[in-house]
Structure 1
Amino acid sequence: MTLITWVDESPRKRPALVAAFTGWNDAGDAASGALAWLASRWDTTEVATLDPEPFYDFADTRPRLHLEDDGSRSLIWPSNDLIAATVTGAETPDGAETELALLVGTEPQLKWRTFAQQIVDMAQRLDSPLVVTLGALLADVPHTRPTPIYGSSDNPEMAAQLGLTPSSYEGPTGIVGVLHNACANAGLHTASLWAAVPGYASEIPSPKASLALVRRLGTLLDISPDTSELEEMAEGYERHVSELAEQADETSDYIAELESAYDREAEENGEIEEMRSTDPTEFVDQIEQFLRDQRS
C-alpha cells in the first residue's frame, strides 16, 4: 500500500536523501531548522508528499487554520514533503550540478513501520545511494562554545569511509531509529548526524546547532553552502541566551561550570572544533539518557 502522492515524476540523478523530523528528536528545532534553511537557499521542486491521515492523532498533533490574503481559510495538516534541491556553482567541488532530496517531516504517533516503509519507497524510487537523518538532543554543553556533533552509520565500511562512528546504541528509539532499521532491511546505506543543544536553553530555537549540522552535512555530502547568514543568526542566538542567563545567577554559574569543563577538555585533547569527532561512548550515553527522559 502506498500513501505517497508523486507530484513530479521527472527522472532524478540518484540524489542522497536527507531527512529531519520535528518532534522530540529535534531539540531547539536544530535539525528541522537546518534542513529548512538549506531548502530556502537552493532551487527546489516539490517531488512527493505523504498522506498524514494514518500516522497522526489529530487531537494531539492538530491541523492549523491559515487565513489567506482574500480572507478565506485553509487547513494545514502535519506534513512530510519530499523536495528536490539543486546545488551548483561554488557550493560544489568542481562547480558541477548536484541534486539532493530533502524530506522535511513531522514525527508520527501511529503506524511507524508503515511510515518508515513509505520513506524507504521514496528512497528506492529515487535510487538514493545514501539516506541521512538529522537530529538534535539536549545535553550538558555551553551555548558559548562550538556545538558538538555526533555522527554514526549502521554500515561499518561507510562509517570508516566517512569518518563516522558505527552505532552501538541499545534502548528505546524514535522515528529516526525506526527509519534507519527499515533502510537497513531494504539494503540502503544510512548515516545519522546529531547536534548537542544546551539543556538550559531547550525552549529557544538554536540556529547555532543548525549551523553545526549544516557544516557537518556539507562535509558528509561534499558540498559547501554559504553559511554566512546562518552564522549571523547563530551569533544573535548566543547573545540572546547570554542575556537571558545573566538574569539568573544559578544559570550563569552553571554555564560557567560547563565552559570550564569544555575548556579543560580542549586543553587536554587539543583544539575542539565544531565538527570534531566526539567521544562516541560519552555522546551515546547522553543520547541514551535523552531517549529515557523523553520516554518518561
Structure 2
Amino acid sequence: MDSIIWENQTPELRNPVLVATFSGWNDAASSASAALSAVADSLENELVARIDPEEYYDFQATRPQIELTEGRIRGVSWPENLIVAGRSEQVERDLLMISGTEPGTRWRTFCNNLLDVAERCGVETMVTFGALIADVAHTRPVPITGLATTDELIERLGFEDVAYEGPTGIVGVLHNIAKERDFTAASLWAAVPHYAAAVPNPKAALALMRRLEGLVGIPLDGSDLEDAAGSFESQVSQAVAANPEIKELVERLESQQDDLSDLAPDDVPSGDAIAEDFQDFLKRQGD
C-alpha cells in the first residue's frame, strides 16, 4: 500500500460500513458525489488516509489545478481521493467514506489498495453510489436500481433482476474485486433525466442519501439537498414549459413511469421494510 498516505492507521470504528463514490463516468449529473458529500456533512469526520495520485492518473487527461495570486504560483491541486471516517453520536455504527476522482489507470491495484484500508479498519460491508442517464422524468420519484454480491442481499434490497453486458467504471471494478475478496457489497444507482443531465441533480443525490440512511440506520441531515432538489425541479419545469417538444417528451416519460408504478406487484417490500431487513443483515454480519 505504498500509494496510501496514512493520517491515522488505527481509527476506532464501530461496526463500520464502507461507502464509496467517484466523480466521472459513474456520476451522471454529479449526483453520486453530491450524495456522499451530504452524508459526510451530516457526520463528525476524521481524515484516515489519502491516495497518492502519481500512480493512477494521466495528468494530461486529468489535469492538476494551479492557483495564481498577484502573478505568483500559490500552489497546485492534484486529483484527490480521500478516505474519511464518519461518526454519529446517535447510533453504534460508523462509516468509512471514500470519495474522489475516477483514476485513469491501474484500476485493480487502486481497488485492492482501497480494500486493504477497509480491511484494516474492520470493514466487512461496502455500499457504492453511482448515477446513470435514463429515460425518466424529473417530476417523478428518482428510480434507484442496483446490484449486490449475493442473491440473498439482492432480494433483501428489493433489486430487480438486472441483465447488462458492456462498459463499466471504477465502481463496477471495485464491486467485483470486493466480491472476490469476500466483502458483502451493494451498489446503489440513481437514474437522472437525460434531458437535464448537463446540470447537477440534487434530487437524485437526495434519493441516494435517503436510501443509504435507511440501509445503515444512521440519521443524516438532508435539509440542504431537500431545498436544492425543490429548486432544481422548479427550474427544470420552467425550462421544459418553454419548449413544446421537450414538454411533450416529459409528459410521455411521466406516463411511462406512472404505468410502471401501477404495474408494480403488491408484494414488493416498502423502503422501510428493506432498510430494516438490511440492518438485520448487517448485525448478523458483525456477530
When normalised by structure 1's length, the TM-score is 0.84
Cα shift readout 1:46-79 (whole Å, capped 9, x = no counterpart): 000011111111111111123579x761111111
State the alpha-carbon separation in 2 of the partners of residues 131 and 167 from structure 1. 20
Distance 1:214 1:231, change over 3 A: same
Cα shift readout 1:2-44 (whole Å, capped 9, x = no counterpart): 3101101233224111000000110010000000111123210
Corresponding residue SS for 2:85: strand
Distance 1:56 1:237, change over 3 A: same
Corresponding residue SS for 1:53: helix
State the alpha-carbon separation in 2 of the partners of residues 111 and 237 from structure 1. 37
State the alpha-carbon separation in 2 of the partners of residues 274 and 63 from structure 1. 45
Aligned to 2:256: 261
Aligned pairs for 1:60-75 within 5 A: 60-67=61-68, 73-75=74-76
Aligned to 1:252: 247
Once the two structures are overlaid, the 10-residue window that deviates more, 19-28 or 158-167, is 158-167
Aligned to 1:32: 33
Residue 144 of structure 1 pairs with residue 145 of structure 2: no
One-letter identity of the residue aligned with 2:109: T
Residue 101 of structure 1 pairs with residue 96 of structure 2: yes
Corresponding residue SS for 2:94: strand
Corresponding residue SS for 1:17: strand
Cα shift readout 1:132-183 (whole Å, capped 9, x = no counterpart): 1100000000001110001320122333344445665333221111111111
Say if 1:116 and 1:178, in contact at 8 Å, map to a contact too.
Answer: yes
State the alpha-carbon separation in 2 of the partners of residues 246 and 273 from structure 1. 35
One-letter identity of the residue aligned with 2:11: P
- Supply the RMSD in Å over aligned alpha carbons: 2.6
Q: How many pairs does the alignment contain?
A: 271
Corresponding residue SS for 1:44: strand
Say if 1:218 and 1:224, in contact at 8 Å, map to a contact too.
Answer: yes
Aligned to 2:278: none
One-letter identity of the residue aligned with 1:208: K
Which consecutive residues of structure 2, in runs of 5 or more, have no partner in the other structure? Answer: 274-287
State the alpha-carbon separation in 1 of the partners of residues 98 and 243 from structure 2. 39
Residue 129 of structure 1 pairs with residue 124 of structure 2: yes
Cα shift readout 1:102-129 (whole Å, capped 9, x = no counterpart): 1112111111111111111111111202
Among all aligned residue pairs of Structure 1 and Structure 2, give the percentage whose two residues are the same amino acid. 43
Say if 1:146 and 1:273, in contact at 8 Å, map to a contact too.
Answer: no
State the alpha-carbon separation in 2 of the partners of residues 213 and 224 from structure 1. 14
Corresponding residue SS for 2:166: coil
Corresponding residue SS for 1:169: coil
State the alpha-carbon separation in 1 of the partners of residues 260 and 155 from structure 2. 25
Say if 1:132 and 1:192, in contact at 8 Å, map to a contact too.
Answer: yes
One-letter identity of the residue aligned with 2:6: W
Distance 1:167 1:247, change over 3 A: closer
Aligned to 1:292: none
State the alpha-carbon separation in 1 of the partners of residues 259 and 164 from structure 2. 27
Aligned to 1:190: 185
One-letter identity of the residue aligned with 1:22: S
Residue 218 of structure 1 pairs with residue 213 of structure 2: yes
Say if 2:38 and 2:222, in contact at 8 Å, map to a contact too.
Answer: no
When normalised by structure 2's length, the TM-score is 0.86
Aligned to 1:42: 43
State the alpha-carbon separation in 1 of the partners of residues 258 and 156 from structure 2. 30
Cα shift readout 1:218-250 (whole Å, capped 9, x = no counterpart): 121122323222111100010111122223221
Residue 269 of structure 1 deviates from its aligned partner by 3.3
Corresponding residue SS for 1:170: coil
Residue 12 of structure 1 pairs with residue 26 of structure 2: no
